[in-house]
Structure 1
Amino acid sequence: MSADRTFFDDLAVGEVQRSRTLTVDREAMLDYARRYDPWDFHVDEEAAAKTHFGGLIASGGYTISLSYILGHETMAKAGKPWAFLGGFDWQLKFQKPVRAGDSLHLTDTITELTPSRKGGRGIVKFRREMWNQDGEVVLSIDIVGLVAATDA
């Protein structure tokens, strides 16, 4: 087994990993929305001001993309990435809008570990939360995935 990975056996229920803080870049946010999700509240400042959001907000797809960037950091315990085999269930909630200039970080909290009956891997349930500068959760995802075990 490779010593440069974190395996199922290395994980613990209740363990929390935290990412660095990332600032939402206005131009990157707008570029994403123009290309993939051009609703007015994502791309038109004037129109967005008239919505219940009161201004531009990031696309959900862009917010999820930021969670991927930061998630690679949270899933690298002590600099060793999880031996992640893939995710197969997501329960996602957009809890607050994300805006240009927001400072975001991510936490992953392991909630359940179940060894696979097939051996060589385990089922990991964890909650991913993205937090803004005001300590508010803007995105939460309950994730179920597979991680290789050391006996793989």
Structure 2
Amino acid sequence: MSDTGFKLRLTQQQNYQFLVEFLDSGIPPITTDEPPPLGEDAGPNPSRLLAAAVANCLAASLMFALKKFKNEPDPVTVDVDVEMVRNEAKRLRVGAVNVSIRLGKSGAQFEHLDRVLAQFEEFCVVTQSVRDGFDVKVSVRDSEGALLKA
């Protein structure tokens, strides 16, 4: 991944379904959707994508840290349990993302495992961004380009 960022485009297909295009890469587009009663579950919704991003980033960071010491952790599996909660205003939010990573070999087979486990989360871009928070700027324009919200 580039240090300079990346670009996406979401285009509404119907109702709550969006086509997500990865504009600066050859990654094929995906469809996102909301579950019923709003959508048709034609693809993952943003909460599922967020949980997948956190889990995938953690697993990749752990694999990178292990492989740095010539360890081969394959096959790795990751289970994710997401807790949805209501905030004070009764709005639905992701309350917690519980990630359970299982390595394909016993712990005794890995070199420098204590060091790896102590630091791998620090290299996870997504998890650390969510934990630390980040700025999200929002603007809304109409079909003629008039700025409705900045």
Tell me, yes or no, whether TM beats 0.5: no
> Larger Rg: 1 or 2?
2
Q: TM-score, normalised by structure 1?
A: 0.28
- TM, length-normalised to structure 2: 0.29
Q: Flag the structure with more relative contact order, 1 or 2, with Cα contacts below 8 A and sequence separation at least 6.
A: 1
* Structure with more of its chain in strand, by fraction: 1
Structure with the largest fraction of helix:
2
